[in-house]
Structure 1
Amino acid sequence: MMSCLKFNCDIDITDNPLDLNLNDYLEIAVRNNPKRRFLFVSKVLGKHLACKADDMDDLGKLIVEAYKKKNINGNNGTVISFAETGTAIGHSVFNYLEGDYEFIHTTREVVEGYKSLEFLEEHSHATDHNLYFENLETLQSGEEVFLVDDEITTANTCVNIIRKIQSIYPKKRYTICSILNWVDSVNIEKIKKVEEELDCKIEFVYLFKGNFDFVVDSIPVVDDSLEIKDINREIKVNFIDLDMDDYIDGQKYIKYTGRFGINKKDQERLVQVVKRESDKLKIENNDSDVLYLGTEEFMYIPMLFAKESKNKVYYHSTTRSPIIEIEKDGYPINSKFEIGSFYNKGIKNYVYNLDKKNYSECFLFIESKKDESEFRDIINVFKNTSIDKLNIVSCSAV
């Protein structure tokens, strides 16, 4: 039983293949989305809540371990993860898989000149996805496709993309990977029919499998508009330019994010580049807590930079996902700051609990170079926290 405020969630875990402790991985929050009033908030995904970078990266390692326990014996194929929350965990799964695999994540970015496999994500607050798949060799010739997200509830989104892929590059096996798997018997029967219809096998790999009963007693839809206080406090702002070596569409997108597909050699190169460029990230006080903050889909590379630091570094990311904040013990989201997207004008982003930990310094990672004037709002956000120094890290010098 997990309960807080005026909602209750009874969780029954029916399969735990690695014998993990659910409470080390999961919190529950509420939101205004009428499709689904609640949200399972991961403690270690590096999205809504700050965590250690090693804990986030270990999720990929654990999912690969659970995959190996099923004795599927695959050795080549494509790993696809879902934006925005699943981008980093999918990249981590790809990194730890042994064999000839490529990685790509879906994106809400619209990029001219690239052919997209478009599909619909169910249950999402933002449902349009693109998959720029043409550079992937293993999607055409590989034997298996992995679909990775933090949580699978009905598997409808996965079935949507499986149908699309099967129509152009038929596969014999799809493996749906997640931290949490809530797919019930009704949806399992639907998937069995899809297997017969498409002549393929659909497997599930997860850290926790179960079911839940969520009841909201009286949490009304609340006004999500936020006003950032204009505090007359000076903080030090430092701009850092990194060179990530290889870019797409000019220097707007880093090749190694996986948005357009990468292979194992690309991954090796990414690790080398991160090690080299980490020397440019100098922490002022080695004894204080420091935050490395990714932005939207741009999660995995900031996590790698956080792993490279030997200091007291925490990591998470901004998100499009709106969650109701409540200042109460036992509830995971105690504060919320709203900012505009750095990549798409008019899109709201949120960062949670930024003022609830005593950080002295933050490294904010932006995939592409922006004009300094575009950071005024987020600088005002940081003035409302304990952070004295904000390093704005542009991963493109142009």
Structure 2
Amino acid sequence: MTNAANDTTGGVWSGAWVRERLGVELVGDAELGGLLGLALRRNPKRAHLLVSNVLGKHVPQSPAVVHGHGFALGRRVRELLGPAGARTAVVLGYAETATGLGHSVADGVGEAPYLHSTRRPVEGVHQAGGFEESHSHATSHLLLPEDPTLLAGRGPLVLVDDEFSTGNTVLNTIRALHERYPRGRYVVVALVDMRSAADQGRLDAFAREIGARVDLVTATKGTVRLPDGVLEKGQALVAEYEGTGAGAGAGAGAAGDGGAARVTTVELGWPDGVPDGGRHGFTPAHRVRLERALPAMAARLAGALPAEARRVLVLGFEELMYAPLALARELEKAAEGLDIRFSTTTRSPVLAVDDPGYAIRSRIVFPSHDDPADGPGERYAYNVAGGGFDAVIAVVDSVADTPALHAPDGLLATLAAHTPGVLLAVVPSYVPPTAARALTPTTAPRTRTPVPTPATPHLTERPSMLPDPLRGPDFSSYAPEEVGWLLQDLSEVTLEAPTEEREEAIQSGGAHYAESLPVEYQPSERYQALFHSALEESAERIALAVGVVTETVLAERSARPVLVSLARAGTPVGVLMRRWAEYRHGIEVPHYAVSIVRGRGIDANALRWLAAHHDPADVVFVDGWTGKGAITRELAAALLEFEESDGITGFDPEIAVLADPGSCVRTYGTREDFLIPSACLNSTVSGLISRTVLRADLVGPDDFHGAKFYRELAGVDVSVDFLDAIAARFAEVADAVDARTKELLAADRTPTWEGWAAVERISEEYGIHDVNLVKPGVGETTRVLLRRVPWKILARAGAGADLDHVRLLAEQRGVPVEEVAELPYTCVGLIHPQYTRGATGADGRAVAV
């Protein structure tokens, strides 16, 4: 080990002044002195401050050097984790000092999304966690990811700070997050490992305590030798220098008269939808879009600089480090003849002494212009005054572009007193879409906390071309947090055709059933009354099934699942499962609806979007019920094909269903074939959304499948009524759910596919010879009566009220109901393959002969 105080970089070591007066020394690797200097600060917990020469916070540095150190650490993390670990990792940085470093590490890791803690609360964004930083002057850290499941994945969590000294901050963070989102691996990253000998063994002991692997990756290591009484001596020294006015350093002072008038505002042209940093999450897809936009933004900045400018500082703002760093890097690459440096403002009060052996040579002081973060108070920029800069480009986000910024004593005017040219570039503050909706006066108050639209890609740039999910009230009558529809809106396209025409086209092979829509069935008053009666009678049984299937998913599939319902029968079930998770466990589960089409597979673009925003291993596909298991098989085949074509793995093909009468899946609420009232109706119980549409002239290779929003049916919509009626029974069934779930988790739930065997038998017995025209179960039979041209209904002898609505629909359609003694389902709907026009039933509608 060498005494780092003897290591100098271009002259006197920038920790020599503190060493000589207080006896504080750095002991460590040879490069330690080049990375760190020493300063003193007003802090009751720690007098000295390790000042990084490569972090881009207190010391202006080349942007390439700043980013390069973080990127190199990220590459080491990637090598440690391997490609699979890097794909599933999440990088977490610490505000405010390490936000840029953490982001640079995420760049080095490659596929990892990035999040940093923040001290700025953002209304409408759910807090996913928080922690305290014991030695800091401002301790509260908030975690506000746009995707509430970002920290709940099973991949490694990479935590990045500028230094790893006692380890208290990082270990406290891991402890808090591990209790809420347990995982098997953590990686701690820091520029320097400054642990004392007493702290060296804590990391391994901590890992054993929580039962996870914890690795440490640093650029260099060393320790700080602190003599006895250094805190008191340091505080006295700070008071002495500040009392005499010497603690401001060279060139410090207030803005001169008219200084603010020399500020030039530059319109960056920041790309829409790209976050200003990692406060709510920043994804690889965001990085791709930002890198594409950087050359043009840097050109605008270069064009606005004074002609004589040669030495230019790009000055970031507190937590906003990465966006200005990216701009500075691009400017450094593109602007020949310019010496570009990068640093940021800070809330940390540090003593400034104009001595070459001291790390903080000067400071400028100005009032806070970001009140939401921490209220009013002083803010600082170090080593700017007296730095010889011909121009300073101040980069702030729009929330901080306040009158205080432009005031006579504000940052801009203060900078103008120390440099010939000041440019202001404002990056739009990113507000997650759901948070923005929550703040608009047109949005009605909600009792549930909104689930933001996630943005956590693990993929390449292609998903960034896909739009965000559609949400109510613009698309569907569900509240926006209940479900995001990965569909395109075809509401203005005429897609409906008479049922008989559709049936003839489908059976003749002239058209696929997904290329058109049936005319929406308008229920009679008698049928509507039957629906409400059935809902009242079955609400408790459905609530029990909802609870059981949700608890099974949470126990076996993911502690933080991403529910993906198969539109549209699965969507009400997905909403109810989401509500159960919130009611019983207080967790907010994302929920999306996607299209799957028999014979055509699942929407591949929807899968790409999901894989780009979530860990595929957390995705749980949800449907209402199984019949013969055709969709279960369709999904498995489609996912296998998708894996082969896109190389994206991790999606589990097993569907979670409310009812599994066909014994086709392992994850279900019940295997009884009973009436689920949502099967009784079409769009009016499914958020007013049509069945999905897949037609080549409407759905291109980069489009989601389509669907229509029947706004005109709002007067008869019972979608929310259905959900509320079931959710109102949650408390009544909670104990029964626990007991039933315990039984199921211990039981053999291997699918027997007895439903498929029964369908094959019925197909042969009734001379149909096509299993696609046999629709087993109450739900599928109802669909036949509402959408197709049925031939006959088979009803199990003795079936009771569960078939009242089926009998009514059959009567209205002129379809015979035949009772069968031995039937594995409550009922089965049959469509005859030899469909001909001209034959009619009792209601005058065409039927098969």
Fold conserved between structures, TM > 0.5: yes
Equivalent residue for 1:360?
390
Partner residue in 1 for 2:262 = 236
- 1:12 aligns to what? 27
1:27 is matched with: 37
Identity rate, percent: 26
The whole-number CA distance in structure 2 between the counterparts of 1:229 and 1:187 is: 43
Deviations 1:159-193, CA, capped at 9 Å, x for gaps: 11112221222111111100111223433433333
Residue among 326, 336, 346 paired with 1:319: 346
The reply on whether 1:393 has 2:425 as its aligned counterpart is yes
The one-letter code matched in structure 2 to 1:245 is P
Match of 1:103 in 2: 114
Show the counterpart of 2:689: none
Q: 1:276 to 1:158 in 2, by over 3 A?
A: same
Does the residue aligned with 2:297 lie in a helix, a strand or coil?
Answer: helix
Quick check: 1:296 aligned with 2:311?
no
Which secondary structure does the structure 2 equivalent of 1:346 belong to? coil
Q: Quick one: distance in 2 between partners of 1:397 and 1:31?
A: 31
Aligned partner letter, 1:285: A
Contact residue 241 and residue 396 of structure 1 kept, 8 A: no
Deviations 1:357-398 (A, max 9, x none): 21111110011163556322223322431x111111111399
Counterpart CA distance in 1 for 2:388 and 2:395 is 20
Residues 319-342 of structure 1 deviation map (CA, whole Å, 9 limit, x = unaligned)? 111111112221121211111222
CA distance in 2, matches of 1:372, 1:71: 47
**In terms of mean alpha carbon deviation, does 291-300 or 210-219 score higher?**
210-219
Match of 2:758 in 1: none
Partner of 1:251: none
- 1:275 aligns with 295
1:229 shift after superposition: 3.8
Distance 1:174-1:231 versus aligned 2 partners, 3 A rule: same
Match of 1:150 in 2: 162
Aligned to 2:414: 381
**Number of aligned pairs?**
385
CA contact (8 A) 2:367 2:404 kept: no
Structure 1 165/397 Cα, relative in aligned 2: closer, same or farther at 3 Å? closer
Find the counterpart in structure 2 of residue 346 from structure 1. Answer: 376
Offset of residue 124 of structure 1: 0.6
Amino acid in the other structure paired with 1:260:
H
Cα distance in 2 for partners of 1:170, 1:57 equals: 31
Q: What residue identity is the alignment partner of 1:241?
A: E
- The structure whose residues are more often helix, as a share, is 2
* 2: CA distance, partners of 1:131 / 1:362: 31
Deviations 1:130-156 (A, max 9, x none): 011351655322420000011011111
Which has the larger displacement, 27-36 or 283-292?
Answer: 283-292
Cα contact 2:271–2:289 (8 A) shared by 1:
no
> Normalization by structure 1: what TM-score?
0.89
Q: In the alignment, does 2:73 pair up with 1:63?
A: yes
- Are 2:103 and 2:114, in contact at CA under 8 Å, matched by a contact in 1? yes
Tell me the equivalent position of 2:526: none
Q: Structure 1, unaligned stretches of length 5 or more?
A: 248-253
Change (3 A) 1:244 1:185: same
- Does the Cα contact within 8 Å between 2:368 and 2:404 map onto a contact in 1? no
State which drifts further: 297-306 or 366-375.
366-375
Q: Which moved more, 1:230-239 or 1:295-304?
A: 230-239
CA–CA distance in 1 between the matches of 2:80 and 2:25?
28
What amino acid does structure 2 have at the position aligned with 1:288? R
The Cα of 1:316 is off from its aligned counterpart by 0.5
SS at 2:324's partner residue? helix
Structure 1 position 82, deviation (Å): 0.1
SS at match of 1:193: helix
| 1-structure distance, mates of 2:288, 2:174 | 29
1:70 offset after TM fit, Å?
A: 5.0
After TM superposition, the score normalised by the length of structure 2 is 0.43
Matched letter for residue 150 of structure 1: D
CA contact (8 A) 1:286 1:312 kept: no
CA deviation vs aligned residue, 1:289-348 (integer Å, no higher than 9, x gap): 111100100011101111111222111000111111112221121211111222124132
Which residue of 2 is the match for residue 38 of structure 1? 48
Q: Among residues 98, 113, 117, which one is paired with 2:124 in the alignment?
A: 113
Change (3 A) 1:373 1:31: closer
| RMSD over aligned Cα atoms | 2.6
Shift in Å, 1:203: 1.0
Q: Is the 8 A contact 2:159 2:170 kept in 1?
A: yes
**8 Å CA contact 2:131, 2:172 repeated in 1:** yes
CA-CA distance at 1:213 after TM superposition: 0.2
Displacement of 1:256 after TM fit?
A: 4.2
Question: What amino acid is aligned across from residue 46 of structure 2 in structure 1?
Answer: R
Letter in 2 for 1:27: G
**Does structure 1 residue 125 correspond to structure 2 residue 137?**
yes
Which residue is equivalent to 1:197? 209
2:283 counterpart (263, 266, 291): 263
Q: Which amino acid aligns with 2:25?
A: D
| Structure whose CA Rg is larger | 2
Could you report, residue by residue, the CA deviation over 1:18-55 in whole angstroms, capped at 9, with x for unpaired residues? Answer: xx722321111111212110011111111001011000
Distance in 2, Cα, partners of 1:383 & 1:214: 40
CA positional deviation for 1:65: 4.1
CA distance, structure 2, for counterparts of residue 349 and residue 230 of structure 1: 14
Q: Offset of 1:349 from its aligned partner? A: 1.1
Please tell me the residue identity of whatever aligns with 1:231: G
The 1:238–1:146 alpha-carbon spacing in structure 2 relative to 1, beyond 3 Å, is: same
Which amino acid letter does the alignment assign opposite residue 299 of structure 2? Answer: D
Q: Distance in 1 between matches of 2:345 and 2:396?
A: 11
Q: Distance in 2 between matches of 1:349 and 1:119?
A: 23
Residue identity opposite 1:105 in structure 2: H
CA spacing shift, 1:397–1:180, aligned 2, 3 Å: closer
Give secondary structure in 2 for the equivalent of 1:80: strand
Could you tell me whether the CA contact under 8 Å between 2:26 and 2:224 is conserved in 1? Answer: yes
> Aligned in 2, Cα 1:339/1:49: closer, same or farther, shift over 3 Å?
same
1: CA distance, partners of 2:107 / 2:48: 31
Instruction: Give the 3-state SS of the residue equivalent to 2:319 in structure 1.
Output: coil
Give the AA of the match of 1:374.
L
